[in-house]
Structure 1
Amino acid sequence: MAGDPGNGRAPYAADPARSPGRLHREPSSPTRDDFQRDRDRIIHSTAFRRLAHKTQVFVYHEGDHFRSRLTHTIEVAQLARALAKALRLDEELTEAVALGHDLGHTPFGHTGEDALDACMEAYGGFDHNSHGLRLVTELERRYADFDGLNLTQETLEGLVKHNGPLVDAEGRPLERWRARGVPAAILAYDRLQSLRLGQYASLEAQAAAIADDIAYDAHDIDDGLRAGLFDLDAIRAVPFVAVLLDEIERLHPGLERPRVIHELTRRVITRFIEDVIAESGARIAAAGATSLEDVQRAGRTLVGFSPAIAAADRDIKTFLFANMYRHPQVTRVRERADAVVRGLFSAYVADPAAMPPDWAAKAGATAGERAHAAADYIAGMTDRFALNEYRRLFDPTANLR
């Protein structure tokens, strides 16, 4: 595959020199290209720092060695960058999308998002990708000349479309969005700067998306085993994992359990990454992609798993859903976290003055304006801050355990 010998990128990779640029024009940097600047702006954002105290599956006080949104995000970025290097993509854009993909998440993991979505049902719901777009285009208030981070079009498209297009060729919402419609915030920004919602995102964004899947599978196995939510014998029910455990036992008989867990995790990652590299290379060649535009109009995702590894991915997720995400210990915490988010939302909508003055000022006069201000405020909270707010407003003894 021929590419640009000067930078090592393949011809189908995104190129910062050809970027449509930013909504607000800025002078170029003498030392960094535009995708590098996007990555750096995400890292220095307030929303990124808050990921350190937002939950993946466990709440913050379950133990310091379990993963937070921040550690998960760093792991996704490392895997995505490995894929980008192997496929000769732009590594900085890939890393920017990976580092920004979870910025819009609420406290308490998916439980917090589900609760906030239910609270906002009458006002269009809550979606973390849409909220992430608002963070980087509006809610971050750091720069003198604009709100948000003023990221390039490619990075914004990656944050919004890393899982695929949102609308069809006629502009009708695709399946995920059919019932409720594409979030209003995404449509509003698309009118300012086209996000090409009917096209696929770059291969860099696709690499970040599948790196997210790989990280979830491998590291939730790791956390679940270390937390004692299931044991090694139980996860042998997943054929792909059973083969890896047999390999570890054959090569390292009598290995202590913590090392077995780590060897399993690294093998899951290695097999998945190697599979994605081979499968994606074949898909790119079959599509005859020789430009970013070919990728966007390919009609399918070009970075993905082979059928065999896609089946293993589904099997792992099915096992984790039953044995980890729905474990009674986790369910009890989820129920209490749900009550915290709903309680905070009700309190702030009823009395916006319970929020800090700058947030209370955003509440406006209508029920919808108050609801949106409350949702934005809650979405930015860390787990610890949300629980402390609930204690302040309702019950000083409240806990999630």
Structure 2
Amino acid sequence: MTAKQWALAPWSWFLPAPPHGGQGTPPGAAGAGAPSGRDACGHRPTAGTVRFEQVGKTYPSSAGPVRALSGISLDIPAGSIFGIIGRSGAGKSSLLRTINRLEQPSEGRVLVDGQDLATLDEQGLVLLRRRVGMIFQHFNLLSSKTVFDNVALPLRVAGVRPDHVRARVAALLDLVGLRGKADTYPGRLSGGQKQRVGIARALVHAPEILLCDEATSALDPQTTQSILALLRDINRRLGLTVVLITHEMGVIREICDEVLVLEKGRIAEAGAVWQVFGSPAHDATRALLRPLEHGLPGDLQERLSAHPVPGGASRRVLELHYSGAGGLEPDLARIAAALGGTVRLLHGGVDRIQGHSHGRLLLAADLGGPDAAALAALNLCHHARELGYVPDHA
């Protein structure tokens, strides 16, 4: 069996070893058939859904009850990459940890594949936590154990046969790009390599859901990009649901299909990433997105005035916004033709998120011509406004 085949599946490796060294039968499977929730190739086309129904969480404190979550209701589709973002204290970690019942909601229900987690007994909770892997901001590796032993530990605790442990760990280290590092200790690894060990360990029980608790916050930008690429590849190859929390909107933009914005324990807004980024409806979302915006450069701000320069040539400065809706993209030729005369691009930028164009352009155009509202009416942008005037040489 190849490393790739080991990475993709039989259920029997992740169950406690039965008596007499047998391989056991998975729950819901008949004989040698595919296990419940998987197709014949070992994929789970429907497993990995999460539903929150009016979830609330209150913590006791010396100053009185602290409300961390209130009325959270939403669905996370199977196989998606779902981001949860919010400012510090918004309730992100509390919500994430209800999915593997590290936190018990004070009210409401959390369902994984339709099963209410509050109904699970001790054995059911063990099985749940094998279906829901988790990676952490600070890796949580055992410094006295090798890479191999860190990844193998959950399998050994579960009683998996040693030969299956060896094969599974080897396949996972290959999957996360750590071939040849099995005998290395965490102290000799970079931050990105440590996180790859954490990801491999989270995958040992072939989970349906992978939870990421600020998984890139301790990493530099280049390493962050490599870890996000790995998570995206794992999502696509293994078909598992990825739920991540972060305070970095750039991470959400890079990897997520959908996003939930939390503010003071409540849903501020939720939806497809391109929609939320393109037309943020809540002040909290706009505040979180602000670092991604292309601000007005200082030198241009200094030269900008509310009126044309007296006795000299001036150009008006227009700001064109693109929200991603309707497939509209900047068409510079049409914009220049509509404005007439000479048009210069002063600043700005356009990103592509899930195939939709987002961003803004700052243009310097001749006086006269159509006003900002007319540009939007001509379907040249989603929204436009006139910022002021600059000298012609600016």
| Higher RCO (C-alpha 8 Å, min separation 6) | 1
Do these two structures clear the TM 0.5 threshold for a shared fold by scoring above it?
no
Normalization by structure 2: what TM-score? Answer: 0.30
| Rg larger for | 2
Normalization by structure 1: what TM-score? Answer: 0.29
Q: Which has the higher helix share?
A: 1
Q: Which has the higher strand share?
A: 2
